[in-house]
């Protein structure tokens, strides 16, 4: 637990200066900076260092050298912007004892959860190995040929490798997911302003939905699963878009911040591509004001964010969006076979729909939907049908609130993201944040509209605040029971490590490849590893860092 807190302090010290300097340079009207919150600088900084880690991985392993450069850049950013940081802190932090206490308690609770818990199945299946490869070698050509899941590229793994501190010689820490949970949690606590402002905002319902998600994954955030990263960044970007929707005259530079986060989302997982719809607004505003130079600057920045992700995809598998085979441009010697990639894609779709046979991926909606519905528990079933109601209610909302462009585009982005998830691989774990956020946003939209139009707004405000308090009390009690059940675990100093598994050894030329003895999980330490004996794989050179190809 202490190790987690120390890593979080280091992450904060490295990402905040870069995030603040980045957003300060992004926004032309410096008065708009005051509309940002400290969490924005942290999230923007996390995006920046993740892009940096991906670029670094193209040339070397992400370890000590990467951290030295990062630390130097963060110090330079802090020194360069010292006066601005001082003003920023004085404006945004009152340092009241109650606020400090809330932040400290929040950090301790989240550090407790991030120090122990359930290690996600897929983390011991391939997440840990993906991070291990990035730590040691960066990116290796044709790595997906050794084991196809190692080509499931997510920028989250590069971020985890950057802050794993494996180069110190101990365990490889995995505290990044917990840190992002903490930042989003702090952002969500702002919904308690409802009683002070006597105003109901759509974003407060989004915050409540994000809190629900955080409570759901509290026992799993010890795992570096990419699902958590994509959902947390998605939830945060929606919340801030809705926050900005409350502003009468929105600045195009201000809205560009969550728009860039939307671009970044697809590097975490392409299932969030629906959020790209939000880019319509800043592009339209820039064109309207004839700021063509700024438009090209944002386009260049968006390409810069996505570029290392695409390059890594190409190097790992020979495909731009593995295992998607629709974009077939390149044909390197290490390219993963098209038929096998298509088979793998069908397996993901079938699994998401509750089947184990890849051939069911071709089933029509009328056939797989009834089966999929039966796989949902009562809570997920309720969330799904309320999401459907939210989609149905979107059209009437357009006529009720004609001038709220940000609100409508945000809702449309969330709906599109939900639909892309549903019609591809609708496993709840893959899109839990989508399923939670859609009904939360739509419900918040209509409640806030009623609040503005009714003569009983005080009672509505009180009812919403009471519901929030009851929800927090119930979830806190459940969280307390869970925490008590794992309190005895000895992870007060160091973090719970990856799981160990029995392995067998195979040889590929002169290199030992480890495979699980009795199941498909291998963990972190047997390295390099594959699920099956590499009988159909050749090395591109004498060393594993040279890459792999199919025979």
Question: For the residues of 71-131, what is the DSSP string, one character each?
Answer: HHHHHHHHHHTHHHHHHHHHHH----HHHHHHHHHHHHHHHHHHHSS---HHIIIIIHHHH
Among 366, 364, 36, smallest CA distance to 187 is for: 36
The reported pLDDT for the residue numbered 398 is 72
* Boundaries of every domain in the chain: 99-336+376-486
Indicate the burial class of 547 (C-beta count within 10 angstroms; 0-12, 13-18, 19 or more): buried
The reported pLDDT for the residue numbered 395 is 83
Q: What is the pTM of this model?
A: 0.95
What is d(CA 107, CA 317) in angstroms, rounded to the nearest whole number? 39
Torsion of CA 327, 352, 236, 386, to 10 degrees: 120
pLDDT in tens for each of the 551 residues of the chain? 999 999 999 999 999 999 999 988 888 777 788 888 899 999 999 999 999 999 999 999 999 999 999 999 999 998 887 666 665 555 555 567 888 888 999 999 999 999 999 998 999 999 999 999 999 999 999 999 999 999 999 999 999 999 999 999 999 999 999 999 999 999 999 988 887 777 888 999 999 999 999 999 999 999 999 999 999 999 999 999 999 988 877 778 888 899 999 999 999 999 899 999 999 989 988 998 888 998 999 999 999 999 999 999 999 999 999 998 888 899 999 999 999 999 999 999 999 999 988 889 999 999 999 999 999 999 999 999 999 999 998 887 777 666 578 888 999 999 999 999 999 999 998 999 999 999 999 988 888 877 777 766 778 888 888 888 898 899 889 999 999 999 989 999 999 999 999 999 998 888 899 999 888 899 999 999 998 888 889 999 989 999 999 98
Among 77, 44, 81, 50, smallest CA distance to 66 is for: 50
Q: Which two tokens mark 515?
A: 């495979």
- Measured between alpha carbons, how far apart are the two ends of the chain, in Å? 46
The reported pLDDT for the residue numbered 248 is 72
């Amino acid at each position: 637990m202490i190790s987690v807190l120390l890593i979080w302090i280091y992450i904060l010290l490295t990402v905040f200066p870069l995030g603040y300097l980045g957003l300060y340079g992004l926004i032309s009207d410096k008065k708009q900076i005051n509309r940002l919150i400290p969490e924005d600088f942290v999230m923007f900084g996390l995006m920046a260092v993740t892009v940096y880690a991906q670029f670094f991985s193209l040339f070397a392993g992400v370890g000590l050298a990467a951290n030295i450069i990062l630390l130097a850049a963060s110090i330079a950013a802090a020194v360069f912007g010292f006066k601005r940081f001082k003003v920023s802190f004085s404006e945004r932090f009152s340092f009241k004892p109650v606020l400090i206490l809330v932040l400290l308690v929040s950090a301790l609770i989240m550090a407790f959860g991030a120090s122990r818990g359930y290690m996600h199945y897929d983390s011991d299946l391939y997440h840990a190995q993906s991070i291990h490869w990035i730590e040691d070698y960066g990116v290796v050509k044709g790595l997906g040929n050794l084991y196809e899941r190692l080509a499931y590229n997510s920028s989250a793994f590069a971020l985890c490798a950057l802050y794993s501190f494996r180069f110190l010689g101990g365990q490889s820490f995995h505290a990044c997911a917990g840190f992002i949970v903490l930042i989003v949690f702090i952002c969500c606590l702002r919904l308690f302003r409802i009683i002070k402002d006597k105003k109901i905002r759509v974003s407060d319902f989004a915050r409540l939905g994000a809190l629900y998600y955080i409570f759901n994954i509290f026992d799993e955030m010890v795992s570096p699963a990419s699902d958590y990263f994509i959902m947390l960044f998605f939830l945060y970007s929606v919340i801030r878009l809705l926050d900005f929707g409350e502003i009468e005259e929105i600045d195009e530079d201000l809205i560009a911040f969550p728009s860039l986060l939307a671009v970044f989302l697809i590097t975490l997982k392409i299932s969030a591509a629906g959020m790209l719809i939000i880019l319509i607004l800043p592009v339209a505003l820039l064109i309207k004001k004839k700021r063509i130079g700024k438009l090209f600057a944002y386009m260049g920045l968006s390409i810069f964010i996505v570029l290392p992700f695409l390059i890594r995809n190409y190097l790992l598998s020979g495909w731009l969006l593995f295992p998607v085979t629709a974009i077939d441009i390149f044909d390197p010697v290490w390219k993963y076979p098209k038929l096998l990639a298509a088979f793998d894609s069908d397996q993901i779709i079938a699994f998401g729909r509750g089947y184990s046979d890849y051939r069911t991926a071709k089933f029509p909606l009328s056939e797989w939907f009834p089966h999929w519905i039966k796989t949902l528990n009562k809570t997920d079933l309720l969330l799904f049908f309320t999401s459907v109601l939210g989609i149905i209610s979107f059209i009437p909302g357009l006529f009720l609130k004609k001038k709220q462009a940000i609100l409508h585009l945000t809702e449309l982005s969330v709906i599109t993201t939900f639909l892309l998830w549903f019609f591809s691989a609708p496993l709840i774990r893959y899109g839990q944040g989508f399923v939670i956020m859609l009904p939360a946003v739509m419900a918040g939209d209509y409640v806030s509209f009623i609040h503005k139009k009714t003569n009983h707004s005080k009672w509505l405000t009180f009812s919403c605040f009471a519901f929030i308090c009851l929800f927090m009390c119930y979830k806190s009690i459940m969280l307390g029971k869970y925490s008590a059940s794992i309190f005895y675990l000895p992870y007060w100093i160091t973090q719970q490590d990856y799981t160990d598994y029995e392995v067998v050894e195979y040889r590929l030329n002169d290199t030992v490849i480890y495979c699980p003895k009795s199941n498909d999980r291998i963990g972190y330490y047997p390295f390099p590893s594959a699920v099956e004996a590499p009988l159909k794989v050749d090395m591109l050179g004498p060393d594993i860092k040279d890459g792999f190809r199919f025979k």
